[in-house]
Amino acid sequence: MHNRATARIGRGPAALLRRLFGRREYGLGLLILLVGAIVGFVDPEFLARDNLRDILVRSAPTAIVACGVMLVVVTGEIDISVGSLLGLLAAVMGLFVSVSEWHWPLWIGLPLTLLIGTGIGFSTGVLVTFGRVPSIIATLGLLTALRGTTTLIMRGENIDGLPERLQSMTKYGVVGVPLSLWTATVVICFTAVLVKHTSLGRQLFALGSSDYSARMIGLPSRQLKLFAFAYVGLLTAVATIVDVPRLPKIEAGIGSGFELLVVTCVVVGGVSISGGRGSLVGVLLAVVLLTMIRPVLTFLDVGESGEKWTKAIQGAFIILAVITDSLVSQRLKRVRPVGQSSTEVA
């Protein structure tokens, strides 16, 4: 009798709404549609194809790096150095391939950029796993060190003279679609397969659910975290290569604030800051939502204060997401049977 009553309640409208809005991605999707509808009503040009395409292009590098940062946070760690890493890799790439600098061939300069990014990410993982340095401290120190190194490389000046072939490839890509969008699609698909259909993905989530339990059942926790950090480094290099050359020059200070945007997208997208739970779909929706903020303020004619409002809104989102994550974690602790994992892969 009790089971039948429970089943009837579970099929009711209230239960349907709880299931619908209990998942972060549904709420984010509805918020994106609502904001788009309101701004589109105020200024129909917001919904024009070119503007929507521009939002997607702006979202691409954030989405690429967020795929990696998501895996780091899922393991119970964090990486707040990706903005400084992107700045360093942009400077290094410019130094390698610019006609006004070393002018190396693209087939040498670009793979070296990928290698450096992956190497720095791997080194961060070594500090965290073997050096036992808390990831927040390790990446905070790295953030400062990389930013200082970038300043030394660029000497406070812009780097111009990027090869026309590289600029054309990143701007127009294939069939008129920028290379960053094609690359983001490939990275997203690969990451989705990784987290949903491979043992590696399941192990990353299991590690974040309980590091102690993961060690007890023989999961290679150090190797898993090394992979996650190296993956972030690689994807940051990929994002640098496919997005930075769209502009005619590499500006001093590039990448500043990028780490806050990426981490905000990951947390707002529903990845638990304590690890073990997360949704790739939620992260991608958060990327689109947070990328929309600046264009929305522009179309609402906020004026010069738009940048300040953008930062304030991002900060509000991350505070709200952290509070929500804390409440969800407490609820799971109350209702989850002993030994049951909180891993969510979606």
What pLDDT was estimated at residue 19? 55
Rounded to whole angstroms, the Cα distance separating 162 from 94 reads 7
Rounded mean pLDDT for each run of 10 residues along the chain, 346 residues in total:
46 51 77 94 93 95 97 95 97 95 95 98 96 95 95 91 92 88 97 95 89 77 95 98 93 90 93 89 95 90 74 83 73 54 46
Domains, the chain: 24-332 (1.10.3470)
Q: Is-contact 95 60, C-beta < 8 A?
A: no
What pLDDT was estimated at residue 15? 52
What pLDDT was estimated at residue 341? 44
The tokens of 259 are what? 């780490």
Burial of 66 (0-12, 13-18, 19+ CB in 10 A): buried
What pLDDT was estimated at residue 77? 95
What pLDDT was estimated at residue 24? 76
CB atoms within 10 A of CB 133: 15
What pLDDT was estimated at residue 62? 97
The tokens of 52 are what? 């929507």
Q: Is-contact 130 222, C-beta < 8 A?
A: yes
